[in-house]
Amino acid sequence: DGSVSVTDDGRGIPTDVHPTTGKSALETVLTILHAGGKFGSGGYKVSGGLHGVGISVVNALSAWVDVTVWRDHKVHTQRYERGIPVTELVSSPSQEEKTGTRVNFLPDTEIFSQGIEFDYSTLSGRLRELAYLNAGVKITFSDYRPEEPHIETYCYEGGIKEYVAYMCREKETLHKDIIYVSGEKNGINIEVAFQWCIDAYSDNILGFANNIRTIDGGTHLEGLKAVLTRTLNNVVCKRNKIKENEPNLAGENVREGLTAVISVKVPEPEFEGQTKTKLGNTEVRGIVDSLVGETLNEYLEQNPQVADTIIEKAVQAYKAAEAARRARDLVRR
Protein backbone atom coordinates (compact mmCIF):
# COMPACT_ATOMS: atom_id res chain seq x y z
CA ASP A 1 0.00 0.00 0.00
CA GLY A 2 3.07 2.30 -0.13
CA SER A 3 3.45 2.43 3.66
CA VAL A 4 6.77 2.10 5.47
CA SER A 5 7.60 0.11 8.60
CA VAL A 6 10.71 0.79 10.70
CA THR A 7 11.50 -1.54 13.62
CA ASP A 8 14.41 -1.51 16.06
CA ASP A 9 15.42 -3.53 19.10
CA GLY A 10 16.47 -0.59 21.27
CA ARG A 11 15.07 0.30 24.68
CA GLY A 12 11.72 1.36 23.26
CA ILE A 13 10.38 4.93 23.33
CA PRO A 14 9.29 5.66 26.94
CA THR A 15 5.54 5.55 27.53
CA ASP A 16 5.27 7.04 31.03
CA VAL A 17 3.83 10.53 31.55
CA HIS A 18 6.12 13.34 30.42
CA PRO A 19 6.61 15.85 33.29
CA THR A 20 6.27 18.94 31.08
CA THR A 21 3.42 18.01 28.73
CA GLY A 22 1.30 15.77 30.95
CA LYS A 23 0.99 13.36 27.99
CA SER A 24 2.83 10.09 27.54
CA ALA A 25 6.45 10.49 26.44
CA LEU A 26 5.51 8.58 23.27
CA GLU A 27 2.75 11.04 22.36
CA THR A 28 5.03 13.95 23.25
CA VAL A 29 7.80 12.93 20.82
CA LEU A 30 5.24 12.21 18.08
CA THR A 31 3.32 15.48 18.38
CA ILE A 32 5.74 18.13 19.69
CA LEU A 33 8.76 19.49 17.81
CA HIS A 34 12.19 19.24 19.46
CA ALA A 35 10.95 16.75 22.06
CA GLY A 36 13.17 13.82 21.03
CA GLY A 37 16.20 12.46 22.87
CA LYS A 38 18.48 14.82 20.91
CA PHE A 39 17.21 17.80 22.90
CA GLY A 40 17.04 16.21 26.34
CA SER A 41 19.97 16.24 28.72
CA GLY A 42 20.16 12.48 29.23
CA GLY A 43 18.60 10.99 26.10
CA TYR A 44 21.76 9.73 24.43
CA LYS A 45 25.37 10.80 24.04
CA VAL A 46 25.46 11.26 20.27
CA SER A 47 22.54 11.95 17.94
CA GLY A 48 22.36 11.40 14.19
CA GLY A 49 19.50 13.90 13.95
CA LEU A 50 19.99 17.44 12.70
CA HIS A 51 16.87 19.30 13.71
CA GLY A 52 15.19 17.20 16.41
CA VAL A 53 11.93 17.09 14.45
CA GLY A 54 12.16 13.73 12.64
CA ILE A 55 9.37 11.57 14.02
CA SER A 56 6.99 14.47 14.77
CA VAL A 57 7.27 15.69 11.17
CA VAL A 58 6.74 12.16 9.80
CA ASN A 59 3.59 12.02 11.95
CA ALA A 60 2.34 15.39 10.70
CA LEU A 61 2.90 14.44 7.04
CA SER A 62 1.33 10.98 7.22
CA ALA A 63 -2.25 9.86 6.59
CA TRP A 64 -1.75 7.49 9.51
CA VAL A 65 0.98 6.30 11.88
CA ASP A 66 0.81 3.13 13.98
CA VAL A 67 3.36 2.88 16.80
CA THR A 68 4.16 -0.24 18.80
CA VAL A 69 6.58 -0.15 21.74
CA TRP A 70 7.94 -3.19 23.58
CA ARG A 71 9.22 -2.10 26.98
CA ASP A 72 9.05 -3.19 30.64
CA HIS A 73 7.41 -6.55 29.76
CA LYS A 74 4.51 -4.73 28.08
CA VAL A 75 3.35 -3.99 24.53
CA HIS A 76 2.15 -0.40 24.02
CA THR A 77 0.26 0.65 20.88
CA GLN A 78 -1.22 3.90 19.60
CA ARG A 79 -2.57 5.17 16.27
CA TYR A 80 -2.35 8.67 14.83
CA GLU A 81 -4.10 10.14 11.79
CA ARG A 82 -2.76 13.30 10.16
CA GLY A 83 -0.68 14.01 13.26
CA ILE A 84 -3.45 13.59 15.83
CA PRO A 85 -3.79 10.60 18.19
CA VAL A 86 -7.05 8.76 17.37
CA THR A 87 -6.67 6.07 20.05
CA GLU A 88 -5.49 6.11 23.63
CA LEU A 89 -2.13 4.52 24.41
CA VAL A 90 -3.11 0.87 24.92
CA SER A 91 -0.78 -1.25 27.08
CA SER A 92 -0.97 -5.01 27.57
CA PRO A 93 1.34 -7.47 29.34
CA SER A 94 3.92 -9.34 27.27
CA GLN A 95 5.68 -12.58 28.16
CA GLU A 96 8.58 -11.69 25.86
CA GLU A 97 11.85 -10.14 26.98
CA LYS A 98 11.69 -8.10 23.76
CA THR A 99 12.33 -4.34 23.72
CA GLY A 100 12.15 -1.91 20.83
CA THR A 101 9.89 0.30 18.74
CA ARG A 102 8.03 -0.20 15.47
CA VAL A 103 6.67 2.78 13.51
CA ASN A 104 4.39 2.18 10.51
CA PHE A 105 3.38 5.19 8.42
CA LEU A 106 1.69 6.07 5.14
CA PRO A 107 2.62 9.42 3.54
CA ASP A 108 -0.41 11.70 3.16
CA THR A 109 -1.41 12.12 -0.51
CA GLU A 110 -3.31 15.31 0.37
CA ILE A 111 0.09 16.84 1.19
CA PHE A 112 2.21 14.94 -1.36
CA SER A 113 -0.33 15.54 -4.12
CA GLN A 114 2.05 14.31 -6.83
CA GLY A 115 2.32 11.03 -4.96
CA ILE A 116 5.45 9.77 -3.23
CA GLU A 117 7.72 7.00 -4.42
CA PHE A 118 10.44 5.62 -2.13
CA ASP A 119 13.57 5.04 -4.22
CA TYR A 120 15.09 1.62 -3.62
CA SER A 121 18.67 2.52 -4.51
CA THR A 122 18.66 5.69 -2.35
CA LEU A 123 17.36 3.81 0.68
CA SER A 124 19.57 0.74 0.23
CA GLY A 125 22.65 2.96 -0.27
CA ARG A 126 21.98 4.92 2.90
CA LEU A 127 21.23 1.81 4.97
CA ARG A 128 24.40 0.09 3.72
CA GLU A 129 26.34 3.26 4.64
CA LEU A 130 24.87 3.24 8.17
CA ALA A 131 25.84 -0.42 8.61
CA TYR A 132 29.45 0.38 7.62
CA LEU A 133 29.53 3.37 10.01
CA ASN A 134 28.24 1.33 12.97
CA ALA A 135 30.29 -1.87 12.99
CA GLY A 136 28.32 -4.97 13.89
CA VAL A 137 24.88 -3.34 13.66
CA LYS A 138 22.55 -5.48 11.53
CA ILE A 139 20.10 -3.68 9.23
CA THR A 140 17.55 -5.61 7.16
CA PHE A 141 15.90 -3.79 4.24
CA SER A 142 12.80 -5.37 2.70
CA ASP A 143 10.94 -4.04 -0.33
CA TYR A 144 7.60 -5.79 -0.87
CA ARG A 145 6.49 -3.66 -3.84
CA PRO A 146 7.77 -5.97 -6.61
CA GLU A 147 6.20 -9.40 -7.18
CA GLU A 148 9.45 -10.93 -5.97
CA PRO A 149 10.31 -9.00 -2.77
CA HIS A 150 13.85 -7.60 -2.42
CA ILE A 151 15.32 -8.42 1.00
CA GLU A 152 18.88 -7.39 1.85
CA THR A 153 20.78 -7.53 5.13
CA TYR A 154 23.73 -5.26 5.86
CA CYS A 155 26.12 -6.06 8.70
CA TYR A 156 29.84 -5.30 8.68
CA GLU A 157 31.95 -6.40 11.63
CA GLY A 158 34.90 -4.54 10.09
CA GLY A 159 32.97 -1.26 9.95
CA ILE A 160 34.61 1.51 7.93
CA LYS A 161 37.61 -0.72 7.10
CA GLU A 162 35.17 -2.84 5.11
CA TYR A 163 33.76 0.37 3.61
CA VAL A 164 37.20 1.33 2.26
CA ALA A 165 37.69 -2.23 0.94
CA TYR A 166 34.31 -1.94 -0.82
CA MET A 167 35.28 1.43 -2.34
CA CYS A 168 38.60 -0.02 -3.57
CA ARG A 169 37.13 -3.30 -4.81
CA GLU A 170 37.78 -2.53 -8.50
CA LYS A 171 41.12 -0.78 -8.01
CA GLU A 172 44.70 -1.98 -7.68
CA THR A 173 45.81 -1.19 -4.14
CA LEU A 174 49.28 0.17 -3.41
CA HIS A 175 49.59 -1.65 -0.08
CA LYS A 176 47.75 -4.64 1.39
CA ASP A 177 46.73 -3.24 4.78
CA ILE A 178 43.95 -0.74 5.25
CA ILE A 179 45.40 1.72 7.77
CA TYR A 180 42.93 2.14 10.63
CA VAL A 181 42.80 4.68 13.44
CA SER A 182 40.31 4.70 16.30
CA GLY A 183 40.36 6.79 19.43
CA GLU A 184 38.52 9.05 21.84
CA LYS A 185 39.47 12.39 23.35
CA ASN A 186 37.33 14.84 25.35
CA GLY A 187 34.19 12.80 24.62
CA ILE A 188 34.78 12.93 20.85
CA ASN A 189 35.22 9.57 19.10
CA ILE A 190 37.05 9.36 15.80
CA GLU A 191 37.50 6.50 13.36
CA VAL A 192 39.52 6.69 10.15
CA ALA A 193 40.34 4.02 7.58
CA PHE A 194 42.42 4.65 4.46
CA GLN A 195 44.36 3.00 1.67
CA TRP A 196 46.24 4.23 -1.39
CA CYS A 197 45.59 2.78 -4.87
CA ILE A 198 48.00 2.58 -7.81
CA ASP A 199 45.45 3.21 -10.56
CA ALA A 200 43.78 6.29 -9.05
CA TYR A 201 44.96 9.85 -9.63
CA SER A 202 42.71 11.80 -7.31
CA ASP A 203 41.49 11.24 -3.78
CA ASN A 204 38.16 9.82 -2.65
CA ILE A 205 37.51 10.85 0.96
CA LEU A 206 34.13 10.44 2.64
CA GLY A 207 33.49 12.36 5.85
CA PHE A 208 30.76 11.70 8.41
CA ALA A 209 29.78 13.40 11.66
CA ASN A 210 27.31 11.51 13.87
CA ASN A 211 26.53 9.29 10.85
CA ILE A 212 25.59 12.35 8.75
CA ARG A 213 27.48 12.66 5.46
CA THR A 214 29.37 15.96 5.46
CA ILE A 215 29.58 16.55 1.70
CA ASP A 216 30.96 20.06 2.23
CA GLY A 217 33.73 18.85 4.53
CA GLY A 218 34.53 20.48 7.83
CA THR A 219 37.07 20.44 10.62
CA HIS A 220 37.38 16.62 10.72
CA LEU A 221 38.44 16.53 7.06
CA GLU A 222 40.73 19.55 7.48
CA GLY A 223 42.47 17.76 10.35
CA LEU A 224 42.88 14.56 8.34
CA LYS A 225 44.29 16.32 5.27
CA ALA A 226 46.70 18.39 7.36
CA VAL A 227 48.08 15.42 9.31
CA LEU A 228 48.54 13.28 6.18
CA THR A 229 50.51 16.05 4.45
CA ARG A 230 52.67 16.82 7.48
CA THR A 231 53.39 13.19 8.40
CA LEU A 232 54.37 12.12 4.89
CA ASN A 233 56.55 15.21 4.40
CA ASN A 234 58.35 14.33 7.65
CA VAL A 235 58.97 10.80 6.37
CA VAL A 236 60.17 12.20 3.02
CA CYS A 237 62.73 14.37 4.86
CA LYS A 238 63.92 11.48 7.04
CA ARG A 239 64.40 9.26 4.00
CA ASN A 240 65.93 11.98 1.77
CA LYS A 241 63.41 11.37 -1.00
CA ILE A 242 63.42 15.00 -2.19
CA LYS A 243 66.43 17.25 -2.69
CA GLU A 244 67.04 19.89 -0.05
CA ASN A 245 66.24 22.83 -2.32
CA GLU A 246 62.92 21.35 -3.47
CA PRO A 247 59.66 22.39 -1.77
CA ASN A 248 57.57 20.06 0.37
CA LEU A 249 54.99 17.78 -1.19
CA ALA A 250 51.62 19.50 -1.51
CA GLY A 251 48.48 18.02 0.02
CA GLU A 252 47.12 16.95 -3.37
CA ASN A 253 50.39 15.08 -4.12
CA VAL A 254 50.16 13.16 -0.86
CA ARG A 255 46.46 12.36 -1.35
CA GLU A 256 46.75 11.18 -4.95
CA GLY A 257 45.18 7.72 -5.13
CA LEU A 258 43.92 7.86 -1.54
CA THR A 259 40.60 6.31 -0.53
CA ALA A 260 39.52 7.20 3.00
CA VAL A 261 36.52 7.24 5.32
CA ILE A 262 36.52 9.40 8.44
CA SER A 263 33.70 9.15 10.95
CA VAL A 264 33.50 11.32 14.07
CA LYS A 265 30.95 11.14 16.87
CA VAL A 266 30.55 14.52 18.56
CA PRO A 267 28.24 15.08 21.57
CA GLU A 268 27.38 18.64 20.52
CA PRO A 269 27.94 18.98 16.78
CA GLU A 270 27.96 22.40 15.13
CA PHE A 271 26.92 22.16 11.51
CA GLU A 272 27.42 25.09 9.16
CA GLY A 273 25.03 26.35 6.51
CA GLN A 274 21.31 25.78 6.02
CA THR A 275 21.82 22.26 4.68
CA LYS A 276 24.10 21.32 7.60
CA THR A 277 26.59 19.44 5.44
CA LYS A 278 29.79 20.89 6.95
CA LEU A 279 31.09 20.22 10.48
CA GLY A 280 32.16 23.37 12.30
CA ASN A 281 33.47 22.16 15.71
CA THR A 282 36.97 23.64 15.90
CA GLU A 283 38.17 21.19 18.58
CA VAL A 284 37.67 18.22 16.23
CA ARG A 285 40.50 19.25 13.91
CA GLY A 286 43.19 18.99 16.61
CA ILE A 287 41.85 15.67 17.93
CA VAL A 288 41.87 14.11 14.45
CA ASP A 289 45.35 15.53 13.83
CA SER A 290 46.88 14.12 17.02
CA LEU A 291 45.22 10.67 16.96
CA VAL A 292 45.84 10.01 13.25
CA GLY A 293 49.38 11.42 13.41
CA GLU A 294 50.36 9.10 16.24
CA THR A 295 49.00 5.94 14.58
CA LEU A 296 50.23 6.79 11.07
CA ASN A 297 53.77 7.59 12.25
CA GLU A 298 53.91 4.30 14.13
CA TYR A 299 52.54 2.34 11.15
CA LEU A 300 54.99 3.87 8.65
CA GLU A 301 57.95 3.26 10.97
CA GLN A 302 56.96 -0.39 11.38
CA ASN A 303 56.26 -0.82 7.65
CA PRO A 304 59.10 0.97 5.82
CA GLN A 305 58.30 -0.71 2.49
CA VAL A 306 54.74 0.59 2.60
CA ALA A 307 56.08 4.04 3.54
CA ASP A 308 58.41 3.95 0.53
CA THR A 309 55.67 2.96 -1.94
CA ILE A 310 53.29 5.68 -0.67
CA ILE A 311 56.05 8.29 -0.81
CA GLU A 312 57.14 7.16 -4.27
CA LYS A 313 53.61 7.69 -5.59
CA ALA A 314 53.40 11.13 -3.93
CA VAL A 315 56.80 12.16 -5.35
CA GLN A 316 55.72 11.03 -8.83
CA ALA A 317 52.52 13.07 -8.44
CA TYR A 318 54.62 16.08 -7.41
CA LYS A 319 56.96 15.68 -10.40
CA ALA A 320 54.03 15.27 -12.81
CA ALA A 321 52.40 18.42 -11.42
CA GLU A 322 55.69 20.33 -11.75
CA ALA A 323 56.15 19.14 -15.36
CA ALA A 324 52.58 20.19 -16.19
CA ARG A 325 53.17 23.61 -14.59
CA ARG A 326 56.38 24.14 -16.59
CA ALA A 327 54.60 23.11 -19.81
CA ARG A 328 51.80 25.61 -19.10
CA ASP A 329 54.34 28.36 -18.46
CA LEU A 330 56.06 27.64 -21.79
CA VAL A 331 52.76 27.81 -23.68
CA ARG A 332 51.87 31.11 -22.00
CA ARG A 333 55.21 32.64 -23.01
> Are 320 and 178 in the same domain?
yes
Q: Are 101 and 209 part of one and the same domain?
A: no
Q: 208 lies in which domain range?
A: 171-327
Question: What pLDDT, on the 0 to 100 scale, is given for residue 51?
Answer: 62
Q: At 33, give phi and psi (nearest 5°).
A: -65, 150
Contacts of 159 (CB under 8 A, 6+ apart): 132, 133, 134, 135, 136, 191, 193
Residue 152 inside a domain? The answer is: no
Judgement on whether residues 21 and 96 belong to the same structural domain of the protein: yes
- Is 163 domain-assigned? no
What is d(CA 102, CA 174) in angstroms, rounded to the nearest whole number? 45
Q: Does any domain span residue 280?
A: yes
* Last residue in a domain, options 117, 137, 160: 117
Does residue 159 form part of some domain? no
| Residue 23, domain CATH | 3.30.565.10
Total domains present in the chain: 2
pLDDT in the model for residue 239:
83
CATH number at residue 251: 3.30.230.10
Residues 75 and 184 in one domain: no
pLDDT band at 34 (very low <50, low <70, confident <90, very high): confident
- Rounded-to-integer distance, Cα 42 and Cα 50, Å: 17
- Residue 52's pLDDT is 66
Same domain, 210 and 273: yes
- pLDDT range class, residue 38, cuts 50, 70, 90: very low
**With 80 as the cut, is the pLDDT of residue 280 above it?**
yes
Residue range 182-221, pLDDT digits in tens:
999 999 999 999 999 999 989 999 999 999 999 999 999 9
Indicate if 182 and 315 belong to the same structural domain. Answer: yes
Q: Is the pLDDT of residue 49 over 90?
A: no
How far apart are alpha carbons 263 and 209 in whole angstroms?
Answer: 6
- Expressed in percent and rounded to 5, the helix, strand and coil fractions of the chain are 35, 25, 40
CA atoms within a 13 Å half-sphere pointing along the CA-CB vector of 317: 25
Give the domain-ending residue among 76, 92, 117.
117
